[in-house]
Amino acid sequence: MVVRIMAVCAAAVAGVMGTVVAAPAQDYPSRSITMIVPFAEHGPTDVISRIVTEHMAKTLGQSIVTENVVGAGGTIAATRVARAPNDGYTLITGHMGTHAAAVSLYPNLPYRPDTDFEPVALLAGTPILIVARKDFPAKDLKEFIAYVRANTGTLNTAHAGVGSVSHVSGQLFNQIVNIRPTGVPFNGTAPALKALAAGQIDYLCDQIVNVVPAIKAGAIKAYAVATPERNPALPEVPTTAEAGLPAFQAQAWNA
Ligand code: ASP
C-alpha cells in the first residue's frame, strides 16, 4: 500500500499551497518551505505528507520543514496557512475534512477552502476501514453491527476531531446502523490507534494508511473496508458490501 501511495505521490508535486506564488517561477523556492500537517505525527496525513515532501525537497533543491499543528479537526492548521504570507512558502497537506467537510460543520470557519488556498495536487485516495479493539466480541461485521446496536450506550469510538475523516466517516457508519456511541476526540488517528490497541477505545473508522501494520500484527481487528473492491494491502478483509453493509462506502483524499 505504501508503494501505491508513493506511486500516487511521485506523480504529484506538492500539497495545497496556502497562497498564490508571488515570486517568478525561476526564483522559487529560494529558501526552505514549511509544510503544515494538521494532525499528529505518524498518522495518515503526516505519513502521506512526509513521503511527498521527501521527494519535493530533492526535486526543488530546498529543505521542506514539516510542522504538525493539531486541534479542532485540522482547522487550526488550515486557518494558520490561510493567514500565512502570500508567498508560496507555507503549504498544507489538507484532506477531505479540513478542505471540505469542515465548511459545513464549523459555522464560523475562519477560512474558505475554495478562495483562501491554491490547489496544487491530489496526493492520495485512502479507503476507510472499520476497526475495533482486538478483543471486541464479534467475529464478523454482521455480529459487530448486532453488538454495537445492543450496546450503543456503553461504547466509545475515536476520531481526530469534528470534521476529520475519521469523524465524518464514523458518523456515517453510526447513522447507517443507527447508533450513538460516545465520541472521543484525539489530535489525529495515530494517537487514536494507540488507544484502540490499548483497549481504551472500542472501535474507529480510519484511513487504511494508518491501520495495516496493527491489523497484521493482531493488535486490532478489521471488520470491513468501505470500498467496492478489497484492498491488496489487506486481501483477507471483506468489503462492506460482501460483509452485509453495502450502504457504507467511504474513501478519503489528501491534497
Ligand atoms: N486520519 C485522520 C482523520 O481522521 C487524521 C490524521 O491523523 O491524519 O482525519
Query: For 56-74, what is each residue's pLDDT tens digit?
Result: 999 999 999 999 999 999 9
Instruction: Name every protein residue with a CB atom under 6 angstroms from any ligand 1 atom.
Output: 39-40, 43-45, 95, 97, 160, 164-166, 188-190, 206-207
Q: Look up residue 202 and give its three cell numbers.
A: 472500542
Average per-residue pLDDT for the chain = 91
Based on the fold, state whether residues 118 and 136 are members of the same structural domain. Answer: no
* Residue in 189, 203, 206 to alter for ligand 1 test, most ligand atoms within 8 A of Cβ: 189
Residue partners of 61: CB distance under 8 A and separation at least 6:
none
Structural domain for 169, as ranges: 126-254
Based on the fold, state whether residues 49 and 145 are members of the same structural domain. Answer: no
* Residue in 49, 165, 171, 184 to alter for ligand 1 test, most ligand atoms within 8 A of Cβ: 165
Based on the fold, state whether residues 13 and 41 are members of the same structural domain. Answer: yes
**Which residue's alpha carbon is nearest to atom 6 within ligand 1?**
188
Rounded to an integer, what distance in angstroms lies between the CA atom of residue 106 and that of residue 88?
26
With pLDDT > 70 as the criterion, what percentage of the chain qualifies? 90
Rounded to an integer, what distance in angstroms lies between the CA atom of residue 229 and that of residue 157?
25
Which pLDDT score, from 0 to 100, does residue 8 have? Answer: 35
CA dihedral 223, 160, 96, 170 (to 10 degrees): 40
29, 89 Cβ separation under 8 angstroms: yes
Which pLDDT score, from 0 to 100, does residue 190 have? Answer: 98
Residue 50, Ramachandran bin (φ over 0: left; ψ between -120 and 50: alpha; else beta): alpha
| Count of structural domains, the chain | 2
Minimal CA–CA distance to 207: which of 147, 167, 163? 167
Which pLDDT score, from 0 to 100, does residue 24 have? Answer: 53
Sequence-ordered strand ranges (E) for 74-155: 90-92, 124-133
Based on the fold, state whether residues 240 and 130 are members of the same structural domain. Answer: yes
Which pLDDT score, from 0 to 100, does residue 19 have? Answer: 47
Based on the fold, state whether residues 91 and 72 are members of the same structural domain. Answer: yes
Distance between first and last Cα of the chain: 18
| Whole-structure pTM value | 0.88
Nearest-atom number in ligand 1 for the CA of 166 is 4
Confidence of residue 22 (pLDDT cuts 50, 70, 90): low
Q: Look up residue 94 and give its three cell numbers.
A: 489538507
Identity of the residue numbered 89: Y
Based on the fold, state whether residues 134 and 65 are members of the same structural domain. Answer: no
Based on the fold, state whether residues 67 and 120 are members of the same structural domain. Answer: yes
pLDDT digits (tens, 9 = 90+) for 152-179: 999 999 999 999 999 999 999 999 999 9
Confidence of residue 35 (pLDDT cuts 50, 70, 90): very high
Cell numbers 483562501 label which residue?
Answer: 116
Whichever domain contains 87, its CATH number is 3.40.190.150
Which pLDDT score, from 0 to 100, does residue 2 have? Answer: 33
Q: Which of 124, 158, 178 is the last residue of a domain?
A: 124
pLDDT digits (tens, 9 = 90+) for 97-153: 999 999 999 999 999 999 999 999 999 999 999 999 999 999 999 999 999 999 999
**How many C-beta atoms surround the C-beta of residue 7 within 10 A?**
11
